[in-house]
Amino acid sequence: MGGRSQIGITLLGLGVVGGGVARALLEKAESYSRRVGVPLVLRRILVRDPSRERSVQVDRSLITTDAEEALDADADIVVEVIGGEHPAREYIERALKQGRYVVTANKEVMAKHGPELLAEAGRAGVDILYEASVGGGIPIISPLKRDLSANEITSLRAIINGTTNYILTRMSAEEISFNVALRQAQDLGYAEPHPANDVEGHDAAYKLAILASLAFHTRVRPEDIYREGITRLEPRDFRYAAELGYAIKLLAIARRDPPPADAIQVRVHPALIAADELLAKVDGVLNAVQVEGDLIGRVLFQGAGAGPLPTTSAIMADVLDAARSIAQGSRPSPWRYTAAVAVKPMAELVSRYYLRVEVTDRPGVLAGIARCFGDNQVSIASVIQKETDEAAQTAEIVIMTHAAREAAVQAGIQQIESLEEVRHVGNVLRVED
Ligand code: HSE
CB 339 within 8 A of CB 379: no
Ligand 1: residue whose CA is nearest its atom 7: 306
Task: Give me the pLDDT at residue 3, please.
Answer: 65
The string of pLDDT tens digits covering residues 157-202 is 999 999 999 999 999 999 999 999 999 999 999 999 999 999 999 9
In a domain, 297, yes or no: yes
> Lowest-pLDDT range, 24-38, 105-119, 251-265, 274-288?
251-265
On average, the pLDDT of the chain sits at 96
How many C-beta atoms lie closer than 10 Å to residue 350's C-beta?
A: 12
Choosing from 160, 203, 286 the residue with most ligand 1 atoms within 8 A of its CB, the one to mutate for a pocket test is 203
CA–CA separation, 145 vs 154, rounded Å? 15
Cα angle 245-249-250, degrees, rounded to a multiple of 5:
155
Say which CATH number the domain at 272 has: 3.30.360.10
- H/E element holding 271? strand 263-274
CA–CA separation, 288 vs 281, rounded Å? 10
Task: Give me the pLDDT at residue 2, please.
Answer: 52
In a domain, 1, yes or no: no
Active-site residue identified among 107, 112, 207, 249: 207
Q: Are residues 235 and 320 in the same domain?
A: no
Q: Are residues 145 and 279 in the same domain?
A: yes
Choosing from 198, 250, 282, 315 the residue with most ligand 1 atoms within 8 A of its CB, the one to mutate for a pocket test is 198
164 alpha carbon – ligand 1 mean position (Å):
9
Choosing from 131, 163, 250, 287 the residue with most ligand 1 atoms within 8 A of its CB, the one to mutate for a pocket test is 163
The range of the structural domain enclosing residue 109 comes to: 7-136+308-328
In a domain, 370, yes or no: yes
Q: Are residues 78 and 164 in the same domain?
A: no
**Pocket of ligand 1 from Cβ distances under 6 Å:** 161-163, 198, 203, 305-306
In a domain, 2, yes or no: no
CA–CA separation, 414 vs 372, rounded Å? 9
Atom index in ligand 1 nearest the CA of residue 287 equals 6
Per-residue pLDDT for 45 more than 60? yes
The string of pLDDT tens digits covering residues 327-377 is 999 989 888 888 889 999 999 999 999 999 999 999 999 999 999 999 999
431 alpha carbon – ligand 1 mean position (Å):
24
Say which CATH number the domain at 392 has: 3.30.70.260
In a domain, 88, yes or no: yes
In a domain, 336, yes or no: no
CA–CA separation, 276 vs 286, rounded Å? 17
Q: Are residues 410 and 319 in the same domain?
A: no
CA–CA separation, 1 vs 59, rounded Å? 28
Atom index in ligand 1 nearest the CA of residue 191 equals 5
User: How would you classify the pairing of strands 40-46 and 63-64?
Assistant: parallel
The string of pLDDT tens digits covering residues 375-432 is 999 999 999 998 778 888 899 999 999 999 999 999 999 999 999 999 999 999 999 9
Atom index in ligand 1 nearest the CA of residue 305 equals 6
275 alpha carbon – ligand 1 mean position (Å):
24
215 alpha carbon – ligand 1 mean position (Å):
21
Task: Give me the pLDDT at residue 1, please.
Answer: 43
Q: Are residues 209 and 74 in the same domain?
A: no
Number of domains within the chain:
3
Task: Give me the pLDDT at residue 76, please.
Answer: 98
Q: Are residues 274 and 315 in the same domain?
A: no
User: How would you classify the pairing of strands 297-304 and 286-293?
Assistant: antiparallel
How many C-beta atoms lie closer than 10 Å to residue 402's C-beta?
A: 12
- pTM of the full structure: 0.97
400 alpha carbon – ligand 1 mean position (Å):
32
The string of pLDDT tens digits covering residues 101-140 is 999 999 999 999 999 999 999 999 999 999 999 999 999 9
In a domain, 188, yes or no: yes
CA–CA separation, 222 vs 111, rounded Å? 6
Ligand 1: residue whose CA is nearest its atom 8: 306
Task: Give me the pLDDT at residue 355, please.
Answer: 98
Q: Are residues 279 and 264 in the same domain?
A: yes
Task: Give me the pLDDT at residue 337, please.
Answer: 85
- 145 part of the active site: no
305 alpha carbon – ligand 1 mean position (Å):
7
Q: Are residues 250 and 299 in the same domain?
A: yes
In a domain, 335, yes or no: no
Q: Are residues 180 and 57 in the same domain?
A: no
Ligand 1: residue whose CA is nearest its atom 2: 161
Q: Are residues 127 and 149 in the same domain?
A: no
Atom index in ligand 1 nearest the CA of residue 207 equals 8
Q: Are residues 389 and 300 in the same domain?
A: no
Say which CATH number the domain at 75 has: 3.40.50.720
Per-residue pLDDT for 73 more than 60? yes
Atom index in ligand 1 nearest the CA of residue 204 equals 6
Atom index in ligand 1 nearest the CA of residue 164 equals 5
242 alpha carbon – ligand 1 mean position (Å):
26
Q: Are residues 230 and 128 in the same domain?
A: no
